[in-house]
Each structure stands twice: as C-alpha cells, then as structure tokens.
Amino acid sequence: MPYEYRDHTGEAWLVAWGATREEAFAEGAKALFDLMVDVQSVEPREAVEIALQAESLDKLFFEWLNALIVHKDARGLVFSKFDVSIQRNNGVYELKAKAWGEPLDVEKHGSKVDVKAATYSGLKCEETPEGWRVECVVDI
C-alpha cells in the first residue's frame, strides 16, 4: 500500500511513499482525499493546475496539501489523480502539479471526515533506502 494512517488523538496522521519525491507527494494527496471520500470512486473529469514554492521539501508538502484543501473547499472538488513535478531553483523548491477529480457527490463518493487543514505536526519529507516518504498530521 502506498499510504497508511497512524493514530493521532483528534486528528489524522497520513504517511505516504513513492519511488520519487513526486510520487510520494502524489500518494500523499491521494491519502488526503481517501480520508474524506472513497477516492476509488472519484473520476478524473476536471483538472486543476497548482504551482507552489517553499524553502524546504517539508514545507512544500504542507503547502501542497493545503492548496488541495482550498480547491476542495472553494470549488467543491475532490481529486483522485495527481501529476507532480518538483524542481529546486536558487535554493527554493518549486512544485508544478495537476490534480484531476470532479465535484463532490456524497451519494457517489461517500463521506468520511472533513479535513480542515494540514499542520506542521509530524511534517516530514525524506529520502529512505526504499524511496521517499512524506508524513503530515491533518486537522479533521
């Protein structure tokens, strides 16, 4: 499984893996939406482009999750497919991504918990011998 959840009182702690940091960010995003809905039922009908910058990969992951939550809250979209590109330029990490999904339909997608925001708690993005791992506690 490319992601899992760990116990955390009153919140959710997501952990995701990938062969590359881009894949780990995409799996982290999928884990985020799987907390909220049945992500397998979300069809990639509508694309959203996201561009972000941060001084560290940890903060970039935090910003990535929160940008997705903003699109969910502001546009009523849930996502299931992600294409992420990360570059480092002049000491700054830059993320360019596309997220595909569709408007939330509770009958089709189900409803689990509402994620309000990513937090700095447990925030981590690191290379391991198996690839990359990202972690973040999200406020539910």
pLDDT in tens, 56-110: 999 999 999 999 999 999 999 999 999 999 999 999 999 999 999 999 999 999 9
Do 15 and 32 form a contact (C-beta atoms < 8 A)? no
Average pLDDT over residues 17-39: 97
Q: Which residues contact 105 (CB under 8 A, 6 or more apart)?
A: none
**pLDDT (0 to 100) of residue 10:** 63
CA separation for the pair 110, 22 (Å, rounded): 28
Q: Domain with 122 in it: what CATH number?
A: 3.55.10.10
**pLDDT (0 to 100) of residue 93:** 98
Q: How open is the CA angle 50-105-4, to the nearest 5 degrees?
A: 60
> Is residue 129 assigned to a domain?
yes
What average pLDDT does the structure give for the chain? 94
> Is residue 53 assigned to a domain?
yes
Q: Is the pLDDT of residue 1 over 60?
A: no
> Is residue 3 assigned to a domain?
no
> Is residue 43 assigned to a domain?
yes
> Is residue 99 assigned to a domain?
yes
Quote the domain boundaries for residue 89.
12-139
> Is residue 71 assigned to a domain?
yes
**Counted domains in the chain:** 1
> Is residue 1 assigned to a domain?
no
